[in-house]
Amino acid sequence: MTKIKVRELVFEKFITSEEIDAAVTKVADRINRDYVGKNPLLLAILNGAFIFASDLMRKITIPCEISFVKYASYSGTLTTSKVKELIGVNEDIEGRHIIVVEDIVDTGITMDKLLTDIHGKNPLDVKVACFCFKAEAFQKKFKIDYLGLVIPNDFIVGYGLDYDGYGRNFPEIYKLVK
């Protein structure tokens, strides 16, 4: 099994590039079917979702737009219960179809805060597209409409996911060796 080191931690290969591509294609295909004639706005969450959002955009064949927000709730390998809005929604989303694009949902605390903020701006509808979902860690009740992969509650890096800002650049996903 291939291992890498990110800062002081060791990770082993968990999800291959081919599995990542298949999951992104699955999400894009559903969005392409569901949003024909609707021109959705994809709202990607920085920093982690930028790679997933980029790959997803290249596979979406319907007219759409993209924008970015930045919310933070992680410190090191742990999620905190405090969510900070660093860059909010800058577009007028009233009456728009919104697809929130996220790299990973674990506890759901960050996404729950963002969804509350978005709903306050009167969009036509809001859907969630998530690359990885940690069902074991999930604490909220919102629906994930477009899901790439369900994974165990392991700490992972690669494909945009990081450990203290490092490891996002790996084309595969690696999980922390315990």
User: The domain containing residue 33 runs over which residues?
Assistant: 3-176
User: Tens of pLDDT along 28-59?
Assistant: 999 999 999 999 999 999 988 999 999 999 99
What does 14-44 look like in DSSP terms, one character per residue? EE-HHHHHHHHHHHHHHHHHHTTTT-PEEEE
Mean pLDDT by 10 residues, the chain (178 residues): 93 98 98 97 94 98 95 62 72 95 92 92 97 94 96 96 95 95
Q: What is the CATH number of the domain that holds 71?
A: 3.40.50.2020
Contact residues for 23 (Cβ-Cβ < 8 A; gap 6+): 131, 148, 149
Cβ atoms of 161 and 20 within 8 Å: the answer is no
Contact criterion met (CB below 8 Å) for 131 and 146: no
Query: Does residue 106 have an active-site annotation?
Result: yes
Read off the tokens for 33: 């079917």
Number of domains making up the chain: 1
For residue range 3-23, what is the model confidence (pLDDT) as tens digits?
A: 999 999 999 999 999 999 999
Of the candidates 29, 106, 154, 162, the residue annotated as catalytic is: 106
Determine the residue type at 40.
P
Strands (E) across the chain are located at 3-6, 9-15, 41-46, 65-75, 78-87, 97-105, 125-133, 146-150, 156-157, 173-176
